[in-house]
Copies of this chain bind each other. A is one copy, B any other.
Amino acid sequence: MDIFVLFSGGKDSSLSAILLEPFFDVTLVTCNFGFSDTWKFARDVASELGFPHKVLRIDGVVLETACDLAVGDGYPNHAINHIHLCALQSAAGTMPATVASAGVRAFIADGTRRDDRVPMLELPDAQRLEDTYKCVYVRPLLGYGRRAVNLLVETHLEIAEDESEKIEKSDYEAELRAIIEERHGFGMVDEIFPRHVQSRVVRRKDRNMPANG
């Protein structure tokens, strides 16, 4: 069964893909609004992990709306959630249909974890997504807390850490930062996004395990 995993190049979406790998044919999918080429980093990590990779182009109006939300709120949570839901809908609606059984058109997945607050779909929104798009939406890390994720990451991935703006990433924040900087200047970016240590995936440690890529 094919599954399309929303992929930022970060450790959570990488680990999600690794957990799905023995049971599905995994393709990594990175969203891009055509505003800046932030997807390139994810493509490189996908290649390092050994998975096929696609770029999913999403209507720029989603990013515009997210920009307005973030600037209006003064913090990024609603904006990130808005992008994430649109990304899931877009993936569910456009990825090639490969599963015929049980009225399911496609399998999609992401890297959201049990203890995450953003991005995160509430249960009724997850069920609505599945019903509307005849898809199956899987969150392999939803049953894993922070410590479990850290231990699995340590086993399977080599990680580098640095402050947010120094780390090259392909997550939603990357293009959102870019559009806010263009429209409102870097001061606004710095006001909206808390500075915190971010991580990026350097390579996979578990090369003895099978890879689909």
Interface set of A (CB-CB < 8 Å, partner B): 1, 19, 22-23, 99, 101-104, 107, 112, 114-115, 123, 126-127, 130, 136-145, 147-148, 150-152, 154-155, 209
**Judging by beta carbons under 8 Å apart, are B148 and A107 in contact?**
yes
**Judging by beta carbons under 8 Å apart, are B114 and A123 in contact?**
yes
A150 vs B137: C-alpha distance in the bound complex, in angstroms? 13
A136 vs B151: C-alpha distance in the bound complex, in angstroms? 10
**Per DSSP, are chain A's interface residues mostly helix, strand or loop, or mixed?**
mixed
Residues on B with C-beta less than 8 A from A144 are 138-139
A59 vs B124: C-alpha distance in the bound complex, in angstroms? 38
Known pairs A138-B143, A143-B143; A102 contacts B209 (CB<8 A):
no
A19, closest chain B residue (CB): B23
A1 vs B138: C-alpha distance in the bound complex, in angstroms? 24
Known pairs A22-B209, A123-B114; A104 contacts B142 (CB<8 A):
no
Query: Could you give 18 example pairs across A and B, Cβ below 8 Å?
Result: A19-B19, A19-B23, A22-B22, A23-B152, A23-B155, A99-B151, A101-B151, A102-B150, A103-B147, A112-B143, A114-B142, A127-B145, A138-B143, A139-B142, A140-B140, A140-B143, A141-B143, A142-B142
